Structure 1
């Protein structure tokens, strides 16, 4: 066993038995590289990464290849989920080299940690040849490597505002600007299958967050049509686990048919939010079913006894990608018995398989009941029999060897999941979902917060690694959501404290954005800022949302000013290439109209809040108290004739209080 055996990361532990003399990222390895004047190989991946496993089996487990690595390099293994700062720095460098990023990410550094070359997956013969070529270059052409490395480092430390030409706009947020963003984004829509017109297909929740807010302000039917087409296909396609619930990371094709089978907490947390909002808008029962089933999966398989949620399920089991999820025709026939004939028609099950090597994967293009009618399948008790068939498959599948579980708990991803649970609770009104959300929030507060600072990762009873901006952004967002489903002022106070900490320790006053790393954290060769939204929104865009909402809730002009500056500086990119800044664009949409400030005061505040939450009103904050509160929006608010009162306000100006939700909704729609 190598040094990784002392780590807690499941990904690092997977490599603990490699003959490679792996180090974890840290001073021991970096000092050894400087002392011995050896180049550093940093190999970055994560536990659910299929090609990371392939490269381990083909290269890192082989004694002969390990000998070359050990002789020529100081070898460092990094879990990108534990150290997103290290991953971001070297991913940026590799992309600057003209290499398409991905994992495993293998980067070669000089002893001073400056990068000079990088690749992703390579088969063994190519890998060994590269190792020898790098050794030769380091030995015989060091000056050229050093010059190249300096160029890459210079590129990484250039100011983000200079690199992207970010300057404060006119702060004039309007529907015409939102229309323009929609039209640009629409050019890349897949009009037949939903999502964006490319393969592989990632869910990209922030795109639908933008579209939902754009539809709210525009009522553009084309936006709603694409929302529904996309969410229907993401809910029905192979990217969704029809048997057990939850979404896989992406579809390898452009039809949402075959997933890359790993399930990530961050995808599922965000998709819960999107489906909750879409359900509030459309009342489509498919969306409610997917939320309910996914939450059941999360609770049963991904929740720790302490209330936090684990990170991921592997794509592989027994060394085969997707083996846990696929079926032969004979297997299904044996399990389903009399239900097999009609079930196999709905899902296009065959002896040859609808996937590969005689295996079948469950996938629909329209709801099962509609598909059944189209195929002439008429069963009086169809819904019960359909659910019964899926339950039979679930029971049988549970006997299989499960995919590997990455059981570290990350603050940032739990924040996204808590927000998703809060949104589902607001849409569905299920008190059990509220309890799960509050329990997870309490876990973060008690187990992953120390002296006002967040810690990034938790495992085996210990929280480690100084929190990153992604942790603060996601947890502040989660706490604001928890306040609005409970009216417990603990959460809004915790959000305020964390926001103040980020401004003090992450904010770059000159550039107007937040660094990714804490000023008190480890210094790397570059201190990055995360500006562009991807599968997970940029931590800066989440912070802009947070500061806007918190500024409204607490009447704090500093929060509002920072949020406004950040958003205005991104306006140029929103107008030119919005697909990379859709979470920013969602905030832009909110700013085109006044945000509704809803204050509920009185003994019946909780019940009225629940009634309000059934409706699709994305541009609102909701605050409440059963008695009195010192929060600005609630100060001096009272019941009306001993009845709970609802105050609908815009920019601190309130309409006459009312005592029922219908009248309050009328006030909202009259603006």
Structure 2
């Protein structure tokens, strides 16, 4: 099959990327996308290309007209998507060729990750590369036969002409190639059910981490490469591993990475929050788009790291990042928007990446006056912090103590001066044109942000974070959960649409369970369990023991995907496996634990050489090989004691509580009038009850 694919390599292209375009006042053209709500699709609603959204009806029409599909996939914050739109899709010559010869479909990858997954696998099989915009040409039934990412106008026209001629004159060759490719797309997604395997051992895990550590950048954090991507699930697992195994080297690496990221330009020192990734090795110059999913996961990670280290830098990052999300991405009803674009209008009215965030030396000196000298030293307004075109991206490389000592000021004075300077810059930014907002609300990303808020409350103790978390959870409950406990994927302008995918269920189940642990409100536990049972019924593949990405109630595509590799966001199956194991502790009569174990067995062979891509899965190895504790708090003081216990970093545990008796087995027959008792249990077998959080921590050491 691979031989056949390379025969068409002359038709393959190029680069990799992802941004946007400016508003038009009058529209010469309007297409079917004008009826959509996705900001990305609406950006293309006035192209001369006759774009349509993905639907079974459009594919049916393609079959009747015998026209190939031209499928173009991107997202609202994607830079190169906007470049290609301007060069190709706004061009009337290009549009005429596309309209005459193809059925043209635009897809927001964030709305339809199910479609995006399939065609991303296809382009990677064809060319070895992937990215957005992702442009595919497919048979009317959706089987692809050509693909490219960003393509400039002349090459785009040339490619489409070749493809049109090939489709008209040698269709049988295309059909054969598309069939072979479709077989390959299905084959790479198969997961073997490894029933006879044993559970991965701690010795094997130690070896896997040792192999993995060869790629660690111990000086600058992250990995020895550029660009540098933030991988929250990687460092979340390594934090768990380092504390569980008392491994100072791994702990140092995690701290180095989190510190360097917080010091770097990838972190917005003025407005809070993280950008998508850094183009260099020192986390300096970001790709300036800000995504909800990054920030939600990083809030969670830094909150946990604060619980372990009590490093105030991590606390500051959590507080400032939540401040950014609340200020820029919070809908009035409690949902969180998806992203801010990388591009914004510069002083000349032109779209430019990073224009909203960068500073010139002259501008900073004029704004900050006497405080400029300390600020410039702290944030490297020098050759280390210079980006391009005399623009600086703020970056730290020294501690507060070093800067204070150098300038002969106290830490308190230093912090006050920096706070005032940053406030001045934030005020100045209000005069700049803000990046465009993608205001669709995605269930899975909201689940990640909700989990971040819960962890922030849990480990920092700020009640405002719980209030915000409850507001978001209530939004999900009201707007995204249907009567049968299934979910919607997307919410925009008051309407919830698109059946949810596994990632939506996985992240929401995880977040609601975490919310239960800090509130002991069984509403969230019950919602979480009902969603879990819904996924078992409609997503579980009995043959492989894994969960499909799409429900059995959705329209079929050329493949029903099974997502196993952890990426920037953890694989939906790895989140589900962790959910199942935790629910097994609460409902041992169900088969949740058996399913979770089998899922782990199915993927664990990948850990030896690909630990980075399975980091979230590897928590399960620690759960299975070490004691996992159920902690039950029962009595009038259950909430206060629960809060004390949960402020400690205890990854191998689940916490339940009630004033008298709750509905789950761990809370039955535990109530003793006049006392609040805490039970530390393993698989339902409990130690003698204690009355303080200190005693609980002692029992956990046994």
TM-score (norm 1): 0.97
Q: Secondary structure at the match of 2:93?
A: helix
**Counterpart residue number, 2:433:** 401
Q: Do structure 1's residue 132 and structure 2's residue 132 form an aligned pair? A: no
**Counterpart residue number, 2:321:** 294
Q: Do structure 1's residue 500 and structure 2's residue 533 form an aligned pair? A: yes
Query: How big is the shift at 1:172?
Result: 3.4
User: Which residue of 587, 591, 608 maps to 2:620?
Assistant: 587
Distance 2:297 2:620 in 1: 16
Q: Do structure 1's residue 261 and structure 2's residue 288 form an aligned pair? A: yes
The equivalences for 1:454-603 within 5 A come to 454-603=487-636
Query: How big is the shift at 1:426?
Result: 0.5
Note closer, same or farther for the CA distance 1:496–1:105 as it changes in structure 2 (3 Å cut).
same
User: Which residue of 45, 58, 71 maps to 1:16?
Assistant: 45
Give the number of aligned pairs: 666
Q: Do structure 1's residue 243 and structure 2's residue 275 form an aligned pair? A: no
Distance 1:54 1:572 in 2: 41
- How far does the alpha carbon of each residue in 1:361-390 deviate from its partner, in whole angstroms, 9 at most, with x for none? 1111234x2451475453561111111111
- How far does the alpha carbon of each residue in 1:493-514 deviate from its partner, in whole angstroms, 9 at most, with x for none? 1111111110110000110100
Distance 1:377 1:32 in 2: 74
Distance 1:175 1:27 in 2: 48
- How far does the alpha carbon of each residue in 1:177-221 deviate from its partner, in whole angstroms, 9 at most, with x for none? 221121121011112211122221111111112111211221111
Query: How big is the shift at 1:554?
Result: 2.1
Give the ranges of 4+ consecutive aligned residues of structure 1 lying more than 6 Å apart after TM superposition.
none
Q: Does 536-545 or 573-582 show the bigger shift?
A: 573-582
- How far does the alpha carbon of each residue in 1:231-252 deviate from its partner, in whole angstroms, 9 at most, with x for none? 1111111111100011111111
Q: Are the counterparts in 2 of residues 181 and 574 from structure 1 also a CA contact under 8 Å?
A: yes
**Counterpart residue number, 1:44:** 73
Q: Are the counterparts in 1 of residues 212 and 609 from structure 2 also a CA contact under 8 Å?
A: no
- How far does the alpha carbon of each residue in 1:236-269 deviate from its partner, in whole angstroms, 9 at most, with x for none? 1111110001111111112111111111111111
**Counterpart residue number, 1:62:** 91
Query: How big is the shift at 1:169?
Result: 5.6
TM-score (norm 2): 0.93
Q: Secondary structure at the match of 1:465?
A: strand
**Counterpart residue number, 1:372:** 403
Distance 2:152 2:187 in 1: 35
Distance 2:359 2:340 in 1: 19
Q: Do structure 1's residue 381 and structure 2's residue 452 form an aligned pair? A: no
The equivalences for 1:571-650 within 5 A come to 571-639=604-672, 642-650=674-682
Distance 1:180 1:289 in 2: 35
Note closer, same or farther for the CA distance 1:25–1:377 as it changes in structure 2 (3 Å cut).
farther
Distance 1:208 1:36 in 2: 51
Note closer, same or farther for the CA distance 1:272–1:356 as it changes in structure 2 (3 Å cut).
same
Query: How big is the shift at 1:404?
Result: 0.6
Q: Are the counterparts in 1 of residues 374 and 407 from structure 2 also a CA contact under 8 Å?
A: no
Q: Does 409-418 or 572-581 show the bigger shift?
A: 572-581
**Counterpart residue number, 1:414:** 446
**Counterpart residue number, 1:157:** 186
**Counterpart residue number, 1:666:** 698
Q: Do structure 1's residue 356 and structure 2's residue 385 form an aligned pair? A: no
Q: Are the counterparts in 2 of residues 171 and 564 from structure 1 also a CA contact under 8 Å?
A: no
Query: How big is the shift at 1:36?
Result: 1.9
Q: Do structure 1's residue 6 and structure 2's residue 39 form an aligned pair? A: no
What is the Cα-based RMSD across aligned positions, in Å?
Answer: 1.6
Q: Are the counterparts in 1 of residues 66 and 140 from structure 2 also a CA contact under 8 Å?
A: yes
- How far does the alpha carbon of each residue in 1:70-113 deviate from its partner, in whole angstroms, 9 at most, with x for none? 22211110000000011011111111112411000000101221
- How far does the alpha carbon of each residue in 1:628-647 deviate from its partner, in whole angstroms, 9 at most, with x for none? 212111110023x6221111
- How far does the alpha carbon of each residue in 1:28-73 deviate from its partner, in whole angstroms, 9 at most, with x for none? 4323322221111100000011111111112111222222222221
User: Which residue of 331, 348, 351 maps to 1:304?
Assistant: 331
**Counterpart residue number, 2:304:** 277
Q: Are the counterparts in 1 of residues 240 and 651 from structure 2 also a CA contact under 8 Å?
A: yes
Q: Do structure 1's residue 327 and structure 2's residue 372 form an aligned pair? A: no
Q: Secondary structure at the match of 1:189?
A: coil
The equivalences for 1:92-171 within 5 A come to 92-158=121-187, 160-161=189-190, 167-168=194-195, 170-171=197-198
Q: Are the counterparts in 2 of residues 515 and 529 from structure 1 also a CA contact under 8 Å?
A: yes
Distance 2:308 2:548 in 1: 36
Q: Are the counterparts in 2 of residues 209 and 586 from structure 1 also a CA contact under 8 Å?
A: no
Q: Does 341-350 or 238-247 show the bigger shift?
A: 341-350
Q: Are the counterparts in 1 of residues 379 and 385 from structure 2 also a CA contact under 8 Å?
A: no
Distance 1:242 1:286 in 2: 12
Q: Does 657-666 or 549-558 show the bigger shift?
A: 549-558
User: Which residue of 457, 473, 480 maps to 1:425?
Assistant: 457
**Counterpart residue number, 2:18:** none
Q: Does 459-468 or 30-39 show the bigger shift?
A: 30-39
**Structure 2 unmatched runs, 5+:** 1-29, 346-350
